[in-house]
Amino acid sequence: MAFLRLSSPHAHGPQRTSRVMFWVILATLPGLLAQTLWFGWGNLVNTVFCVALALLTEGVILLLRKRPVAFFLKDNTAAVTGLLLGLSLPPFAPWWVCAVAVVVAILLAKQLYGGLGSNPFNPAMVGYALVLVSFPVAMTTNWASPTGLGADTPGLLHTIALNFTGAEPVDGYTMATPLDVYKHDIKTHLSSQVLQNPAFGDFVSKGWEWVNLGFLAGGLLLIALRLITWHIPVSLLAALSLMSLAFGWDPDRYAPLTIHLLSGATMLGAFFIATDPVTAATSRKGKLVYGAGIGILLYIIRTWGSYPDAVAFAVLLMNFAVPFIDYYTQPRTYGHQKARRVKSDQA
């Protein structure tokens, strides 16, 4: 009589890294589609460039580190890092901004720490934060104006030419982001006057609302497929909403809740960036704390800080806190009364 020599759990594991990352890439497509429809070809061009460069950089460094190249490239994580950068950088960001962000993300933030699984900080956000700090002009003046406003959106070839030859985009192509406009104008105007700005359109903020809804749809797909859990996005959005209701109830002083939720990189950050399995907290309770921390920091930096959007900084700051969160949110081990913690003096 033959026994099955397997120990529990007797479950098959379809959750290979490559498969998870493949679905993450697919799930960003609605958001990317909305970006392309509303803001032109810029994000798509950047995304293709960033993904290609991310794979190239990862391959070269793996060769230098004498690691199996094909094995690590197939897990799609480098592609996701490049994809996230392409989605979050301004559509008309010149190629060298994208290149610096990608190389820093893969080289400094990922491979120098030991590659996949060993990096304490979200690689894409390290790259984004570095170019945001280094090139403030290129990172604020290259956001595209939504279709229907200003000049006609440039075509695909024209966009490639703009991003790769260093030509300055015409004024009508670019426009400040709604978060930037609101933050700047509310100091001298009433809310009703600020909202006259065409950047806000009829609904919340022209174009951006559809991009965010696209990423929300993709994120819900990931939750439905059980590739991410609901804890981080829900607690992040809830914390952001609570902060906005508590401090931002007066639209004549701070941006209203709808703009916080459906503008900037909120949904991309909540579902795709904060949920990075390597750099996020691990236990369920930990994920709730981690997500809430990002939501609170996001509101604080957006409202009282000097940057209009803050997903990168909020995520990086909470990445710092992850070991601390994990330490205090260890789940109860089966068979034990309560989670046991190693006392620091015994460790």
Residue 108 as a binder of other proteins (CB under 8 A): the answer is yes
- CB-based burial, 322-340: b 16+ in 10 Å, e otherwise: beebbeebbeeeeeeeeee
* Centroid of chain to Cα 274: 7
Please say which residue, 100 or 300, places its beta carbon nearer to other proteins: 100
Residue 96 as a binder of other proteins (CB under 8 A): the answer is yes
201: enclosing H helix or E strand:
none
Helix boundaries (H) for 65-155: 69-73, 77-88, 95-103, 123-134, 136-140
Tokens 């990423």 appear where? 215
Residue 130 as a binder of other proteins (CB under 8 A): the answer is yes
Nearest one of 211, 184, 233, 225 to 90, comparing CA atoms: 211
- What is the SS3 assignment for 250? coil
- Binding piece for other proteins, criterion CB under 8 A, among 35-43, 134-142, 181-189, 251-259: 134-142
Category of 40 on φ-ψ map: left (φ > 0), alpha (ψ -120 to 50) or beta: left
In this chain, which of 133, 151, 156, 190 binds other proteins, going by CB under 8 A?
Answer: 133
Which residues from 165-224 bind other proteins, rule CB under 8 A?
none
In this chain, which of 15, 18, 118, 134 binds other proteins, going by CB under 8 A?
Answer: 134
Residue 138 as a binder of other proteins (CB under 8 A): the answer is yes
CB 231 within 8 A of CB 284: yes
- Binding piece for other proteins, criterion CB under 8 A, among 9-17, 50-58, 77-85, 127-135: 127-135
Please say which residue, 138 or 317, places its beta carbon nearer to other proteins: 138
Please say which residue, 21 or 53, places its beta carbon nearer to other proteins: 53
In this chain, which of 56, 100, 186, 296 binds other proteins, going by CB under 8 A?
Answer: 100
Residue 229 as a binder of other proteins (CB under 8 A): the answer is no
**Residues forming the site for other proteins (CB under 8 A):** 96, 100, 108, 130, 133-136, 138
